[in-house]
Copies of this chain bind each other. A is one copy, B any other.
Amino acid sequence: MTILVIGATGTIGSAICDSLESEHDVIRVARTSGDIRVDIESPESIRDMYEEAGSFDAVASAAGNAAFNPLDELSEDDFGLSIQSKLMGQVNLVRYGLPYLDNPRQGSFTLVSGILSQHPMPGSAAISMVNAGIEGFIRAAALDTPDGVRVNAVSPPWVSETLEEMGEDPSDGVPAAVVAKAYADSITGSASGEVLDPRDYA
């Protein structure tokens, strides 16, 4: 399969590429490097990316920013960025990507939400909002896609590599390679409209 990995240079995106590239044709997409560049905040940039990629079989997204700040410090811009990037950026990956699927019957889109959707922490109001929004979107979008195209989300818990960078105990998280297993299952399995929890793949 030809698989577009969006956010391919990040911790999770790199692990997705590593896990898929032995068996599939992986196209690495990121904001400032990679085989193709995209700014998912821009619908036009997404359309350009798909034009450049041509046809493909699956999109795996580990992209999107959202603002972490206490509720009384979250600004209009914080909410706006979170919506435009992680929420609508990923929604638009599905909306604009559907016509480019090479073989819809095995086609899929896998977006990223995150554990804060269901298990928030102080400061996560905007992130929890957009993560939950992604989960609501994929559940419904999966009912509307043509020809059996599947749409899922992976909801990563804290990632070991990220915890390590933060000086925290990596064993409190799940390695990025395990998160990548959830993406691989979404791409090669039969799930649709589901939120996949990487902890089920440990």
Q: Which residues of A contact B (CB under 8 A)?
A: 43, 70-72, 74, 76, 79, 83, 87-88, 91, 94-95, 98, 116-118, 120-137, 139-141, 143-146, 193
- Give Cα distance in the complex from A127 to B94, angstroms: 16
- Secondary structure dominating the interface of A: helix
Q: Is the CB of A120 within 8 A of B143?
A: yes
Name the B residues within 8 Å of A116 (CB-CB). Answer: 136, 140
Q: Told that A79-B91, A129-B140 touch, could you supply 20 new A-B pairs with CB distance under 8 A?
A: A43-B76, A70-B144, A71-B145, A72-B95, A72-B144, A83-B87, A87-B129, A87-B133, A91-B129, A116-B136, A120-B140, A124-B140, A127-B140, A128-B136, A129-B133, A131-B136, A132-B133, A132-B136, A132-B137, A132-B139
Q: Is the CB of B136 within 8 A of A121?
A: no
Q: Is the CB of A144 within 8 A of B125?
A: yes
Name the B residues within 8 Å of A130 (CB-CB). Answer: 133, 136
Name the B residues within 8 Å of A70 (CB-CB). Answer: 144
Q: Is the CB of A74 within 8 A of B87?
A: no
- Give Cα distance in the complex from A76 to B91, angstroms: 11
Name the B residues within 8 Å of A95 (CB-CB). Answer: 71-72, 74
Q: Is the CB of A137 within 8 A of B145?
A: no
Q: How many Å from the CB of A141 to the closest CB on chain B? A: 5
Q: How many Å from the CB of A93 to the closest CB on chain B? A: 13
